[in-house]
Amino acid sequence: MKVLVVSKDGRVGKSAIAREVFYANMKNNPLYVEIESLNESTSDYSSITNLVRFETLNSENIKDFFVTVADHKGDVVADGGASEIHAIQSLLKDQGFLVSTFFDLIVIPLTLGSREVRSFIDISTTLIESGMKPDSILPIVNFYDRSSKLEEKLFSPVKKFGLPFIEDDFLFLPRMDGIENLSSSKLSSLDFSEKAELEARKAISENKGEKNTSVLVEIYMNSSSVSKVKEVTPELFSRIEYKVSSLGGSEGALRPKSSKRNESQEG
């Protein structure tokens, strides 16, 4: 499976999704491709063992980018940094055919804020206008809770702009403290758990064996929240794998499927 994860906004958990939903669950020699010029490198994460970084994408290195993705014998997740969104949007617009050839899915993380939903609409519109099939676009709604007004905040705006997505096309990652902890800490789930254990040992040592209840409770609550992420993300990844395989496997551009979307359009 080869996926490109992209968002115009920096507060939707994009890199956490790239790391925890995709890279952490990929089994076939996964490669993490980073497109980022401002934020720290993902190479700082001990759990990311195979990484290539592009500071940006332009006419000088675009060929190297596609060759890196195409030639890798295994899974690939490319994390498109928000700082490079203009370069990435140009890539999606001008090189849409190559993107759909070498990537199985374009993953767009979003939240239900009006700005984030509009960003999803803008990126999806660019992709579809470049010739990409809607089936190859996977929106993941992050920080979702059941009280959210999906029709008002998401489905109505999507319909208003004429995008051919239906409810079943969206995946929802429930609001979990663990995802927010990972996003703010810039740590992978493995790194976070190891750090929590070290902090717990340090707290105990500094108090010479005495119980520092408030510190230890906070540490273990944070660690527990991250463990919950590791329980949820494999199931989500399995659903994504099924989607890819049902659409023709990991062979680049996804083939159209017979879906509710097609049925609704025909009706």
What distance in Å separates the CA atoms of residue 21 and residue 236, rounded to the nearest whole number?
Answer: 7
Any domain includes 91: yes
pTM for the whole thing?
Answer: 0.77
| pLDDT one-digit tens code per residue, 17-29 | 998 899 989 999 9
Any domain includes 166: yes
Rounded to 5 degrees, φ, ψ at 72 are -70, 125
Beta strands of 66-131 (E only): which ranges? 76-80, 105-110
Mean pLDDT of the chain: 79
Any domain includes 41: yes
| pLDDT one-digit tens code per residue, 66-114 | 999 999 999 999 999 877 888 888 888 888 888 888 999 999 999 999 9
pLDDT of amino acid 174: 78
Any domain includes 223: no
Contact 110, 120 (CB under 8 A): yes
What distance in Å separates the CA atoms of residue 112 and residue 12, rounded to the nearest whole number?
Answer: 10
| pLDDT one-digit tens code per residue, 196-242 | 666 666 665 666 545 555 555 555 555 555 555 666 778 888 889 88
Any domain includes 149: yes
Any domain includes 202: no
The total number of structural domains that make up the chain: 1
Q: Which domain holds residue 98?
A: 2-176+233-256
**Average pLDDT of the residues in 177-197:** 62
Any domain includes 134: yes
Any domain includes 194: no
Give me the CATH number covering residue 20.
3.40.50.300
Residue 120 token pair? 């999803």
